[in-house]
């Protein structure tokens, strides 16, 4: 299987802080990877390198066979940031029209995708209200629609469950699984172990910039002993990288 994401021996230093330390991981087409770890473990830094927003101090990042700082590669990535700052006086429809324009999509396609996605994320009835009147979860839903607008091959989501109510989480999971069936790849960071276990195929657990566990999730689920929470606690309580 061709890798959609290939991170090889990547480190990123900020002054004295080694935010990511010799990380190697890969994600194939039609795979969902959950990226876990304590606050400050290096998740968002890795995501920023995946998007070509910052460069590794050393090592290589390849996305969809190219360099993520290349606009052609970026056009195939959908990204939802940890905290999104949208222009508050736009409504959800205008937000998507704005992003669609940035992506070079034509007006007709933008309108069709906007209708489809606003209804998918449950914002069809509130799409004409300015974003400044949105609740946290509604903004998160708008962010999901924005990330999916241009039908990307790779979705990169930084803490996608934050603010979503239980029903929205279920819908979100179903949506992600449908995208996986279409062969899309999804890379998301999270602190929500239960949701992660239900959503993804494999996980990487970060500790102080290093991946201390990488592996499938399915073999963990259901045996009552080695669920993701137990694994998470196990690997983080051990010293060093596994
Ligand atoms: N621009 C920056 N300048 C200096 N240090 C930074 C910068 N960005 C991140 N760091 C540091 O790098 C480390 C990793 O941060 P990062 O944001 O990647 O963590 P995270 O795993 O996403 O955490 P969280 O779960 O809190 O979102 C932290 O020690 C952080 O302080
Ligand atoms: Mg983060």
Q: Which of 17, 18, 212 to mutate to test the pocket of ligand 1 (most atoms within 8 A of CB)?
A: 17
Residue 223 pLDDT? 56
Residue 61 pLDDT? 98
Residue 242 pLDDT? 43
- Longest alpha-carbon distance in the chain: 55
Question: Against a cut of 0.85, is the pTM above it?
Answer: yes
Token readout for 75 is 């056009």
Measured from the CA of 20, which atom of ligand 1 is nearest?
14
Distance CA 242, CA 226 (A): 17
Residue 179 pLDDT? 95
Distance CA 149, CA 144 (A): 9
Burial class (CB in 10 A: 0-12, 13-18, 19+), 205: buried
What is the gyration radius of the CA atoms in the chain, in angstroms?
18
Q: Which of 43, 191, 211 to mutate to test the pocket of ligand 1 (most atoms within 8 A of CB)?
A: 43
Residue 58 pLDDT? 98
Q: Counting runs of H as helices and runs of E as strands, what totals does the chain give?
A: 8, 9
Rounded-to-5 percentages of helix, strand, coil across the chain: 35, 25, 35
Burial class (CB in 10 A: 0-12, 13-18, 19+), 166: exposed
DSSP 164: -
| C-alpha 54 – ligand 1 centre gap (Å) | 12
Helix axis angle for 136-148 and 107-120, nearest 10°, is 140
Q: Are the beta carbons of 40 and 48 closer than 8 angstroms?
A: no
SS3 state of residue 29 = coil
SS3 state of residue 58 = strand
Token readout for 72 is 């052609």
For residue 47, give Cα distances in angstroms to 59, 114, 167, 210: 15, 26, 27, 14
Residue 176 pLDDT? 95
Name the nearest CA neighbour of 97 among 74, 128, 73. 128
In tens digits, the chain (242 residues) has pLDDT values of: 579 999 999 999 999 999 999 999 999 999 999 999 999 999 999 999 999 999 999 999 999 999 999 999 999 999 999 887 888 999 999 999 999 998 889 999 999 999 999 999 999 999 999 999 999 899 999 999 999 999 999 999 999 999 899 999 999 999 999 999 999 999 999 999 999 999 999 999 999 999 999 998 866 555 555 588 888 998 898 765 44
User: Which residues form the pocket of ligand 1, taking CB atoms under 6 Å from any ligand atom?
Assistant: 14, 17, 19, 37, 39-45, 82
């Amino acid at each position: 299987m061709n890798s959609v994401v290939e991170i090889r021996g990547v480190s990123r230093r900020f002054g004295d802080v080694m935010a990511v330390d010799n990380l190697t991981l890969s994600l194939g087409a039609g795979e969902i990877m959950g990226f876990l770890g304590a606050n400050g473990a290096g998740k968002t830094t890795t995501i920023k390198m995946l998007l070509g927003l910052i460069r590794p101090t050393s090592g290589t990042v390849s996305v969809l066979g190219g360099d993520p700082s290349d606009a052609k590669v970026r056009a195939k990535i959908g990204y939802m940031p940890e905290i999104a700052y949208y222009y508050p006086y736009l409504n959800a429809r205008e937000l998507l029209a704005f992003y669609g324009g940035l992506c070079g999509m034509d007006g007709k396609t933008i309108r069709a995708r906007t209708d489809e996605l606003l209804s998918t994320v449950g914002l069809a009835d509130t799409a004409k209200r300015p974003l400044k009147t949105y609740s946290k979860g509604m903004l998160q839903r708008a962010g999901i629609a924005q990330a999916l607008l241009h039908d990307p091959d790779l979705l990169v989501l930084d803490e996608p469950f934050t603010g979503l109510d239980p029903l929205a989480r279920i819908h979100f999971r179903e949506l992600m699984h449908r995208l996986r069936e279409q062969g899309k790849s999804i890379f998301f960071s999270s602190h929500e172990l239960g949701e992660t276990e239900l959503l993804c195929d494999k996980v990487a657990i970060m500790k102080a910039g290093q991946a201390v566990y990488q592996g499938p999730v399915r073999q963990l689920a259901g045996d009552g002993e080695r669920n993701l929470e137990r694994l998470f606690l196990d690997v983080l309580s051990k010293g060093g990288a596994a």
